[in-house]
Structure 1
Amino acid sequence: MENQKEHFRHILLFYFCKGKNASQAHKKLCAVYGDEALKERQCQNWFAKFRSGDFSLKDEKRSGRPVEVDDALIKAIINSDCHSTTREIAEKLHVSHTCIENHLKQLGYIRKLDTWVPQELKESQLMQRISSCDLLKKRNENDPFLKRLITGDEKWVVYNNIKRKRSWSRPGELTQTTSKADIHQKKVLLSVWWDYKGIVYFEFLPPNRPINSDVYIEQLTKLNNAVEEKRPELTNRKGVVFHHDNARPHTSLVTWQKLMELGWDVLPHPPYSPDLAPSDYFLFRSLQNSLNGKNFNNDDDVKSYLIQFFANKNQKFFERGIMMLPERWQKVIDQNGQYITE
């Protein structure tokens, strides 16, 4: 390879002495050796060197850091601190950061933004997540209950849903800016409960009526009526298996008394675990994706949109959201309680 490079340079010097320019020399060389023989930019560089009076055809010895580096050392540094920059790795291994970038690319590493999680989990919280998931997984294996499961939650739906866009810019130019949605803007609070077949019951709360225990108990009564009407098989057989998160209105004493009165089997849910709540990891994510860029004029517009959104989802959609629970339980166990990030 080195001999071939030097051979090409002899040819370039020959054409330089014949009075040809770099472009002409490049065309003649490629006509004989193929288009990939030498880049035109390389020809131009060598011609510039010849014009300066330097007719040496060998590469100059390079000073500075060596470019050879053991991939295992790079992996070890990343495993010890996955936030290490290419320059930090280069300094530790005494090579150029360009060399590290090339090796990382060959190793298949890409740089990603950290994913936001609800909070840093303490060891006791990690153990609680593992314990809950193990319990639910084993219970479902012994007595499958997912087709009896009804789950629900609340979500604010704002009038103006801003969609952040990507834009092209040149190096050094400022990126385009987009204002975040005003947290005090008009919005509607959606409460929804669903199972593997679809929506069982949903409602919109008046703007100035927050969710508290009294409101939640009223909602549970309406939900029970909807279950008796839409899912009579649940009330006639083994009964409802109910899932909600640990929001204060959901865990108050009066709420527990109401749930006992209804006779529903309430599943345990570890604190700070939206990744184990089907509404959060599935239904609301799909809803928010559909809302991006949408603007509404009033509550009725929002409600009409949400009604249509739910109506357009078939049973397979809802079934997928519920039936992925065992896989997520196992994943939490495998990850020693850490959050599922996607």
Structure 2
Amino acid sequence: MENFEEHIRHILLYYFKKGKKATEAREELRQVYGRNVIEKRQCQNWFARFRGGDFSVKDAHRSGRPSEIDDDKIKALVQANKHSTVRELATALKVSIGSVHGHLKSLGFVKKLDIWVPHELKEIHLTKRVNVCDQLTKREENDPFLKRMITGDEKWIVYNNVSRKRSWSKRDEAPERQAKADIHQKKVMLLIWWDWKGPVFYELLPQNKTINSDVYCEQLQKLSDAIAQKRPELINRKGVVFHHDNARPHTSLVTRQKLLQLGWDVLPHPPYSPDIAPSDFHLFRSLQNFLNGKTFASEDLIKQHLDKFLAEKDRKFYERGIMKLPERWQKVIEQNGQYIID
């Protein structure tokens, strides 16, 4: 079986006979095999050779034993730095770029875009996440509380929800241009609390008004009134189990005093952990998908669409968001505190 470099040269010869230039042939190869498949100078040299009437794609005979790539060595280099380029690996191994590319492919390595995570977790954060998840798991096993839990958070809703679109174009044409939404555009902040049955209370703050401790405490009082009206069983039985993240307005002294006054059982939540906050990993993700591509002329229209979104979700949607928490806590424990990627 011919090696990878010979395969590439066969393709170069094909493009040469089709009348393409060396730069055009190289660009075609890069689109299929990656940016580092062949050097510009190498490509030009082979085209010069073809123009001279030499159509052989075999390497010229060299004395000495050809270089071989050791599987363990290339694996060790990749594991040591997963961001290594093919060129860097070729330099370290003293072999050609094409050889490295072919060998990586045979070993099953492919280049993938890194995944964005909310925060670069330090050891203290990993430990805190594991401890809190373990604590909550044991509590739910001994005294199930998820159906008594009220959870909530805030989310900015912008008037112009631009989403990138795919458009057809020829291979050598530039893609269509689309302006990003202005980060300083009009927006309103949604505050919402919900449980396994559905929304309990939500409100849009006035345009561009944000949250602070005083505003948050006012919202907590409105939430308390809504619970008394919509979930009286929580007041009459064991009481409210309350969950929110540890944003500053949520953990300030004023807020803590308000929560003590309300008498709610506040669950712990580790720092930098949206992957175990139901509003983040479940409700807001679905809401943003609903909003993508929509443009609103007024706050009233935003409110109408928000009401529509929440009303169209049945109880099973909200129940899934709450009841998947034990599974996610366990996953954090099994992953030693690392983020859940989904």
* Aligned mates of 1:53, 1:115 — CA distance in 2: 47
User: 1:134 matched to which residue of 2?
Assistant: 134
* Aligned mates of 1:197, 1:101 — CA distance in 2: 54
Please say if residues 66 and 95 of structure 1, whose CA atoms lie closer than 8 Å, have aligned partners that are also in contact: no
Q: Percent identity?
A: 64
2:217 maps to a residue whose letter is I
> Residue deviations 1:245-289, cap 9 Å, x none?
111211111211211122111011112222221111111111111
Cα displacement (A) at 1:155 = 0.5
* Aligned mates of 1:299, 1:242 — CA distance in 2: 29
Q: Mark the CA change 1:111 to 1:168 in structure 2 (over 3 Å): closer, same or farther.
A: farther
* Aligned mates of 2:320, 2:260 — CA distance in 1: 29
Rg larger for: 1
> Residue deviations 1:48-106, cap 9 Å, x none?
x9xx699x9x9665669958534443332222211122222233333433343344444
Which range moved further: 172-181 or 256-265? Answer: 172-181
The gaps in structure 2 that reach 5 residues or longer are: 3-49
Cα displacement (A) at 1:119 = 2.7
Alignment pair present for 1:327 and 2:330: no
> Residue deviations 1:170-207, cap 9 Å, x none?
66654443322111111121111111111111111112
* Aligned mates of 1:287, 1:63 — CA distance in 2: 64
| Residue aligned with 2:193, SS | strand
> Residue deviations 1:275-333, cap 9 Å, x none?
22111111111111121111111111111111101111111211111122222222222
**Count of matched residue positions in the alignment of Structure 1 and Structure 2:** 295
* Aligned mates of 2:101, 2:143 — CA distance in 1: 52
1:187-336 correspondence to structure 2 within 5 Å? 187-336=187-336
2:124 maps to a residue whose letter is S
2:224 maps to a residue whose letter is N
Length-normalised TM-score, structure 1:
0.77
| Residue aligned with 1:326, SS | helix
Cα displacement (A) at 1:225 = 1.7
| Residue aligned with 1:284, SS | helix
User: 1:90 matched to which residue of 2?
Assistant: 90
Cα displacement (A) at 1:134 = 1.6
Please say if residues 67 and 99 of structure 1, whose CA atoms lie closer than 8 Å, have aligned partners that are also in contact: no
| Residue aligned with 2:154, SS | strand
Please say if residues 127 and 337 of structure 2, whose CA atoms lie closer than 8 Å, have aligned partners that are also in contact: yes
* Aligned mates of 1:168, 1:208 — CA distance in 2: 38
Q: Mark the CA change 1:67 to 1:278 in structure 2 (over 3 Å): closer, same or farther.
A: farther
Q: Mark the CA change 1:220 to 1:170 in structure 2 (over 3 Å): closer, same or farther.
A: same
* Aligned mates of 2:313, 2:102 — CA distance in 1: 46
1:79 maps to a residue whose letter is Q
* Aligned mates of 1:282, 1:237 — CA distance in 2: 28
* Aligned mates of 1:221, 1:160 — CA distance in 2: 31
Please say if residues 188 and 208 of structure 2, whose CA atoms lie closer than 8 Å, have aligned partners that are also in contact: no
* Aligned mates of 1:142, 1:101 — CA distance in 2: 54
* Aligned mates of 2:149, 2:74 — CA distance in 1: 47
| Residue aligned with 1:210, SS | coil
Please say if residues 162 and 180 of structure 1, whose CA atoms lie closer than 8 Å, have aligned partners that are also in contact: yes
1:177 maps to a residue whose letter is R
| Residue aligned with 2:98, SS | helix
Please say if residues 151 and 195 of structure 2, whose CA atoms lie closer than 8 Å, have aligned partners that are also in contact: yes
* Aligned mates of 2:54, 2:224 — CA distance in 1: 92
Please say if residues 66 and 94 of structure 1, whose CA atoms lie closer than 8 Å, have aligned partners that are also in contact: no
Q: Mark the CA change 1:174 to 1:72 in structure 2 (over 3 Å): closer, same or farther.
A: farther
1:243 maps to a residue whose letter is H
Please say if residues 148 and 241 of structure 1, whose CA atoms lie closer than 8 Å, have aligned partners that are also in contact: yes
* Aligned mates of 1:70, 1:85 — CA distance in 2: 18
| Residue aligned with 1:322, SS | helix
Cα displacement (A) at 1:114 = 1.8
1:78-227 correspondence to structure 2 within 5 Å? 78-167=78-167, 174-227=174-227
Q: Mark the CA change 1:106 to 1:241 in structure 2 (over 3 Å): closer, same or farther.
A: farther
The gaps in structure 1 that reach 5 residues or longer are: 3-48
* Aligned mates of 1:330, 1:159 — CA distance in 2: 38
User: 2:20 matched to which residue of 1?
Assistant: none
* Aligned mates of 1:271, 1:60 — CA distance in 2: 58
